[in-house]
Amino acid sequence: MKIEGCVALVTGGNRGLGKAYVEGLLAAGAAKIYLGARTLSQISPQPRIVPLQLDVTNAADIAAAAARCADTTLLINNAGVLQNSPMLAEGADHAIRQEMEVNVFGMRAMIAAFAPVLANNGGGAIVNMLSVASWLTNPFIATYSASKQAALAVSDAARFQLSGQGTQVVGVYAGFIDTDMAAEVDRPKTAPGQVVERTLDGLRRGLDHVFADDRAERVWWATRHEPERLADSLQSDWDAGASPWKA
């Protein structure tokens, strides 16, 4: 995938990691970026940026985006939500439904709507922002982990199905990223710019999976070589109440 001259759509592009993706694409020479956001009131007009009303849980918004953004060659599914809920906590049913709606069903709907667009434009690429939680279940954010594990399945299935039309589908995995979503996390965090840099590098190299930070690399290795030790560590954290969120 060539970034220079591409036409990109970034969901959740108005803040946090989405904003970093927009900035990174601009610096890399993207011709146009559709900046998708649920509210556009705080988005200032800029050259090469087209604000786009887009709630990924709203079917009408998605259909309108696919029709309006017919020149898209790169879709970045960045929009996401984290409710910070254990699986059996009070309110977990609401948390997991909201996380599934955005992180899974919204992402799947965007892929389905834009697959024909990308095919018409030569194949292009889709980036799905996943997580180390796609590989393991952190008990403190178990409902989020469930949504990201389902999102991984959606991403991998889309890769298989869209291979024939020449669409590259990239899963990006990271630990805690230094954005508002992890503002209360008391653990090392990855700079959004690093996530973007590694993502764009992976696109250029034709990778299917991008490890955005050292934690992603460590967790990937541990889930495959030391799964029991990893599970014991998670259990110990849970038993000790050692949440990554600040007290």
| Structural domain boundaries in the chain | 7-240
The residues that bridge with 91 in the sheet, in sequence order, are none
Residue 247, pLDDT score: 58
Extract the residue ranges of the chain whose pLDDT is less than 70.
Answer: 247
User: Which CATH code for domain 7-240?
Assistant: 3.40.50.720
Please answer whether residues 119 and 169 qualify as being in contact, where contact means their C-beta atoms are separated by less than 8 angstroms.
no
Please answer whether residues 192 and 177 qualify as being in contact, where contact means their C-beta atoms are separated by less than 8 angstroms.
yes
Q: Pick from 28, 116, 13: which is nearest to 72 by CA? A: 116
Cα→Cα distances 190→195, 217, 247, Å = 7, 13, 21
Give dist(CA 181, CA 102) in Å, integer.
14
Furthest CA-CA distance within the chain: 53
Q: Pick from 150, 1, 21: which is nearest to 79 by CA? A: 21
Q: How much is the pTM?
A: 0.96
Q: Interhelix angle for 92-100 vs 142-162, to 10°? A: 20
Strand, helix or coil for residue 32: strand
Q: Which residues of 168-205 are buried (b: 16+ CB within 10 A; e: fewer)?
A: bbbbbbbbbbbbebbeebeeebbebeebbbbbbebbee
